[in-house]
Chain A
Amino acid sequence: MSPASLSQKNRITGGLVDRDQPLGFRFDGQHYTGFAGDTLASALLANNVRLVGRSFKYHRPRGILTAGSEEPNALVTIGDGAYQDPNSRATTAQLFDGMTAKSQTKMGLLSFDLMAVNDLLSPLLGAGFYYKTFMWPAAFWEKIYEPIIRKAAGLGSLSGLADPDQYDKGYLHCDLLVIGSGPSGLMAALVAAKSGLQVILADEDFCLGGRLNAERQEIDGMESAAFAALCLAQLAAMDNVRILSKTTVFGAFDHGCYGALERVNEHDANGAIRQIFWHIRSQRCVLAAGATERPIAFSNNDRPGVMLAGAVRTYVNRFGVAPGKRVAIFTNNDDGWATAQDLHAAGVEITAIIDSRTDIAKTPPTGVPTVLGGQIVNTTGRLGLRSVTLNNGAHIPADCLAISGGWSPTVHLTCHQRGRPVWNDAIAGFVPGENLPDGMIVTGAANGVMTLASCLQSGLKAGQQAARDLDRKPAVIKAPRAADESFAIQPFWHVKGSDKKAFVDFQNDVGVKDIKQSHREGFRSVEHLKRYTTLGMATDQGKIANIPGLAILADISGKTIAETGTTIFRPPYTPVPIAAFAGRSRGKDFRPTRLTPSHKWASATGAVFVETGAWLRAQWYPQTGESEWRQSVDREVLATRASVGICDVTTLGKIDIQGRDAAAFLNHVYANGFAKLPVGKTRYGLMLREDGMVMDDGTTARLGETHYIMTTTTANAVGVFRHLEFCRQCLWPELDVQLISVTEQYAQYAVAGPNSRRLLEKLIDSGEDISNEAFPFMACGEISICSGVKARLFRISFSGELAFEIAVPSRYGDAMIRALMAAGEEFGATPYGTEALGVMRIEKGHVAGNELNGQTTARQMGLGRMVSQSKDSIGLVLSRRPELVRDDDYELIGLKPVNSDQPLIAGSHFIAIGASPVAKNDEGWVTSIAYSPHLKSAIGLGYIRRGNNRHGDIVRAVNLLGGQDIKVELCSPHFIDPEGTRLHG
């Protein structure tokens, strides 16, 4: 025997672990050794570690109950620092060299938990305890009760650091998805693959074969585990089969979509993908998820060392670990006796087989005492089981108790599309009912088929049915030879009169007493029981607890289980990290970043960028010596108004509209008239929603008889395009008009300021004329620039200056900005960013996003007269609703502080002088603010009731959050050049 084995007190012979590969690991700081092929749980048991955690509520010592993903007790934190992964099930965590794990839910030492006082207080902490106790005073909840409860209850904690692991997402398509690789799943996958289907076989375990690896059964004359390995080798050799081990199919979604989590690599800090979230699209699915064993409730049935009987077999047969030196067995069915046989074969002492049934003919292994009609009424052993007490008064020594209360088919995925399982008396369990997810076939133990030979046959049939369903000739495979072991069961859920600390839901510490109390207090439907007691609401979703729980409820209410019904299972089957759903869509990769064509150039000049939607736009361009952003912005504004400035406006939405009926279409989607816009002209358009509120604004240029180009705001580009397509296809399908977004096809620059024409004249090709006479305000047209590049020129202005916007195909965008800057050198051309853009539009009183907030009307913006009453346009009818045409409506105004040294805060509310700043005195609000370097004062735009009549009034702008209450003077929103002489220059 190797030294590694010698140190593992409970390691016995056999199993699927590799004794040549010892793996060192730490649990609560203590060093241990296990083997490759172990789970953390099997390695702990091999080292005789029975106490692995404390319970959630009463802090009772707990051990390992199961050998699978249904584990409610053995939740540990694996890893350190940023890698720490709380609430990992020790029973599924594959052991690796150097693993560090810690117990949870304790204060102080695991063996001496300070919170264990809760256990003594348990009479006070029953069902509904929180509801009843922490009602009063209300203010105590947030400050006192909740923090204490959170600290005391809670499971493992997160590191609080960013997750350093990599996750990925993927899409898989197949004809047949087989979930579960036990006898039924293997047979289904084999026959389907041999019938020519594209098959994916998924299993949550790292070692495939399901119960075949956990049992000592014989198939075709070989050990069941060897048979599983043979089937898997056959499958692996087929091109049309993909085997996904360590992959939990956690949900069955619409139209044949399954969610699966593959745990690729749980412990590689070198950038390997940790987990993959797979979307699997499959035409058919064979659910071969097997069954889950359940415990029996009796007093102190939760001591470390108490384990499900099937799990005991798994540890003995698969891992070569004896979970105890002296094992007692408590069962209500024949399957418990199989545990006795396997333990006996492995040479482990069995102190008694206690069967709740009286009338059975089973032969125990030689020398094993049996107690028929026996019931366990109590146990001893605080930190680990020492003995069990029977109803006949006998004390039986045991450091491990194997319990079998029967097996429940794992029907979870059959419920994900509203399917309700139905009770089956023969197996004392729920089996899948009707309304299965589309294309799902349930087979084997998941369908209530509880014996090996039948499972193999049922799997074959399921695989063949899938082939037939998909019009393939099913392959013929002879069913492997195996025995049909007996599985007779007589339902027995809890030991009557042994209710104290008789746990049903181990993870949430819900016991028989709580269920009784719930019933007594009127919470009698299963759904009420669940919520009142929290039975089945822990991270294990009550995999082992739900059925005993509702069976006990049925018993108390004198109903059958079928009448009592069951709660419904929802995805996910086991917890899925949010990181896996996110995949690579984290941080900057959450969505693509859109860059404008001048980005490279702007970066090189040291521009500061701002996110506007997915776009990065230059916010300002700092120059040497400028330490404050305002210095840059003021300079950009002054330079633009004094000479010429250049701004990248590519991000504005651009929609190309063509067709004989394009004008009619525009007339419908814009509130103002577009029918008479001549070719070569641009018009400002106001777009309403059907409810009469302003949706968006922009300019639309008529480039040709049947050709228009519309611009939208950056923020609404996608929504406006969707809306226009809706109008075109759903409302006016008879119109001959086509749309396409060309936002990314054109780079567009605003060239603004008195020298803008002179600058552009240097770039346009000979023969082009952009003089005021040839190309007046609001003119547009195609123009040849820079020796033959076709550009589009628009004489539009957001800044209020003489201005143009020039658009070139995006591939010329970088060259264009460089050409503009070079040509502008003699005029001191200044690039300006979104801040200067904002300052100039506020100075000019142009509305933007802050004013177009989706709750404002054209009338409020002072654009009411633009809404044509003589044609049908979106929003016209409802814009006339009485509330939207009130005389005392909000109206757009400008404002400036009475004391010009004071700044303004956007979002401040207007309050009359002398009035208290409360909601009923609220007269309106400030939408946009800026510092105007021309007026040498802060200025703002806002809405106030009857604003048009209030220019010159003094009111207060109050911002309670910003701590400001100042006097402001209301004025016209047009601070600069209200006559528009600059525009037309």
Chain B
Amino acid sequence: MIINHPHLGPRDASEFSILGDASLINRPDWQAGDADDAFYSYLYLRDNPAGLHRELWFHEQGDRSWLVVTRDTVTHAIIDVALASDIAKAATSKMSKVNAGKKTAAKKTAAKKTAAKKTVAKKTATKRDVT
């Protein structure tokens, strides 16, 4: 495969090592009430789609960039390549807004669950936005 590196142009896949699902960027909040479950899901529950998949690739034999590669796992067609740090920065700024909202909501136990659901919803939205 050829990965079109945002800085270095088309590079052979043999220069890279792959980590897997790009959702690993969205690391949960360690202090959240549901941190145990959130980390469990984060680490172990991954999508394994036949089709478009956002993956983390490391340009190990190159400039050491982590990339988010959107790849069709069936055809190996690569739809998009972006710097993981750019995506992570965008996600961090979104997440901090979500977390800010969450802390206010946490005052009431009842409201907490709704907020958690929203977090999930927003996370999914973030993922789609990037795709």
Contact = CB atoms under 8 A, between A and B. Distances in A.
A730 B74 contact: no
A690 B39 contact: yes
A913 B28 CA distance: 47
Interface size class of B (residues with CB under 8 A): 20 to 34
B30 A418 contact: no
A969 interface: no
A254 B76 contact: yes
B64 interface: yes
Interface string B1-32: 11000000000010001010000110110110
A281 B1 CA distance: 10
Contacts of A881: 36
B19 A726 contact: yes
B40 A731 contact: no
B84 A729 contact: yes
A878 B66 contact: no
B104 interface: no
Given A418-B75, A878-B39, A878-B40, A731 B30 contact: no
B89 interface: yes
B111 interface: no
Interface string B53-78: 00010101000111000000011101
Contacts of B78: 255
A878 B43 contact: yes
A615 to B, nearest CB: 18
A880 B37 CA distance: 12
Given A254-B76, A255-B1, A872-B30, A734 B89 contact: yes
Given A691-B43, A877-B30, A733 B88 contact: yes
A730 B36 contact: no
B83 to A, nearest CB: 8
A939 to B, nearest CB: 37
B35 interface: yes
A725 interface: yes
Contact of B36 (A722, A872, A877): A877
Contacts of B31: 872
Interface in A121-179: none
A690 B56 contact: no
A729 B88 contact: yes
A690 B42 CA distance: 10
B65 A729 contact: yes
A396 B30 CA distance: 88
Contact of A726 (B35, B39, B40, B58): B58
Contact of A722 (B27, B42, B60, B74): B60
Contacts of A876: 30
A627 B43 CA distance: 52
B131 interface: no
B124 interface: no
Interface size class of A (residues with CB under 8 A): 20 to 34
B31 to A, nearest CB: 8
Nearest to B74: A418
Interface in A716-739: 718, 722, 725-726, 729-731, 733-734
A725 B30 contact: no
Contacts of A880: 36
A722 B35 contact: no
B92 interface: yes
A417 interface: yes
B58 A722 contact: yes
B129 to A, nearest CB: 17
Contacts of B114: none
A110 B58 CA distance: 57
B72 to A, nearest CB: 11
A725 B19 CA distance: 12
A254 B14 CA distance: 12
Contacts of A730: 24-25, 56, 66, 84-85, 88
A845 B27 CA distance: 35
Interface string B74-110: 1110100001110011001000000000000000000
Contacts of B83: 729
Interface in A868-896: 872, 876-878, 880-881
Contacts of B24: 726, 730
Contacts of B25: 730-731
Contacts of B88: 729-731, 733
Contacts of B56: 726, 730
A876 to B, nearest CB: 6
B16 to A, nearest CB: 11
Contacts of A257: 1-2
A590 to B, nearest CB: 16
A730 B24 CA distance: 8
Interface string A676-698: 00000000000000110000000
B39 A733 contact: no
A722 B20 CA distance: 14
Contacts of B35: 877
A729 B66 contact: yes
Contacts of A733: 85, 88-89, 92
B58 A734 contact: no
Interface centre among A257, A725, A730, A876 (most CB of B within 10 A): A730
A725 B84 CA distance: 11
Interface string A416-434: 0110000000000000000
Contacts of A725: 58, 64, 66
A872 B88 CA distance: 17
A878 B27 CA distance: 13
A734 B92 contact: yes
A380 to B, nearest CB: 53
Interface in A14-73: none
A872 B1 CA distance: 37
Contact of A729 (B13, B28, B74, B85): B85
Interface in A250-290: 254-257, 281
B43 to A, nearest CB: 5
A731 B89 CA distance: 9
B85 to A, nearest CB: 4
A731 B76 CA distance: 27
A544 B1 CA distance: 32
16 contacts: A255-B1, A255-B2, A255-B76, A417-B75, A691-B43, A722-B17, A722-B60, A725-B58, A729-B83, A730-B25, A733-B88, A876-B30, A877-B35, A877-B39, A878-B43, A880-B36
Given A725-B58, A733-B85, A878-B40, 14 more contacts: A254-B1, A255-B76, A256-B2, A257-B1, A690-B42, A725-B64, A729-B66, A734-B92, A872-B30, A872-B31, A877-B30, A877-B36, A877-B39, A881-B36
Interface of A: 254-257, 281, 417-418, 690-691, 718, 722, 725-726, 729-731, 733-734, 872, 876-878, 880-881
Interface of B: 1-2, 13, 17, 19, 24-25, 27-28, 30-31, 35-36, 39-40, 42-43, 56, 58, 60, 64-66, 74-76, 78, 83-85, 88-89, 92
